Amino acid sequence: MTIWFSEFYSDTCKFDIAVKRHLHSEQTPFQRIDFFDSEEFGIFFTLDGYMMVTERDEFMYHDMIVHVPMAVNPDVKKVLVIGGGDGGTVRELTRYPGIEEIHMAEIDERVVRLCQQYLPVTAGKLDDPRVRLFFEDGVQFVKQRTDYYDLIIIDSTDPIGPGAGLFTVDFYRDCYKALNSKGILINQHESPFYEIDAVQMVKAHAKLKEVFEICMVYQFHMPTYASGHWLFGFSSKHFHPIKDHKREEWERLGLKTRYYNSDIHVGSFALPTYVREMLEQAAIEPEWK
Ligand code: SAM
pLDDT tens per residue across span 195-236: 999 999 999 999 999 999 999 999 999 999 999 999 999 999
Does residue 211 share a domain with residue 111?
yes
Atom 10 (ligand 1) nearest CA: 156
Total domain count, the chain: 2
Does residue 147 share a domain with residue 17?
no
For residue 289, give the 3-state DSSP assignment.
Answer: coil
| CATH number, domain with residue 137 | 3.40.50.150
For residue 289, pLDDT beyond 80: no
Does residue 184 share a domain with residue 68?
yes
Contact 219, 276 (CB under 8 A): no
Pocket around ligand 1 at a 6 A CB cut-off:
47, 52-53, 61, 82-86, 105-108, 111, 137-139, 155-157, 162-163, 165-166, 188
* Closest atom, ligand 1, to C-alpha of 30: 16
Contact 47, 31 (CB under 8 A): yes
Output the pLDDT for position 288: 58
Distance in Å, CA 269 to ligand 1 centroid = 24
For residue 75, give the 3-state DSSP assignment.
Answer: coil
Does residue 188 share a domain with residue 104?
yes
Tens digits of per-residue pLDDT, 64-113?
999 999 999 999 999 999 999 999 999 999 999 999 999 999 999 999 99
| Cα radius of gyration (the chain) | 18
Distance in Å, CA 258 to ligand 1 centroid = 24
* Closest atom, ligand 1, to C-alpha of 52: 5
Residue 75 falls in the annotated catalytic set: no
Residue 146 structural domain: 58-288
Does residue 101 share a domain with residue 63?
yes
Does residue 235 share a domain with residue 92?
yes
Task: Count Cα atoms within 13 angstroms, Cβ side, for 1.
Answer: 1
Atom 18 (ligand 1) nearest CA: 83
Distance in Å, CA 176 to ligand 1 centroid = 20
Contact 242, 205 (CB under 8 A): no
CA distance 232 to 181: 21
Nearest to 149 by CA among 112, 107, 195, 103: 103
Does residue 181 share a domain with residue 87?
yes
**DSSP code of 132?**
E
Banded model confidence at residue 287, pLDDT cuts 50, 70, 90: low
From 137, 150, 155, 197, active-site residue: 155
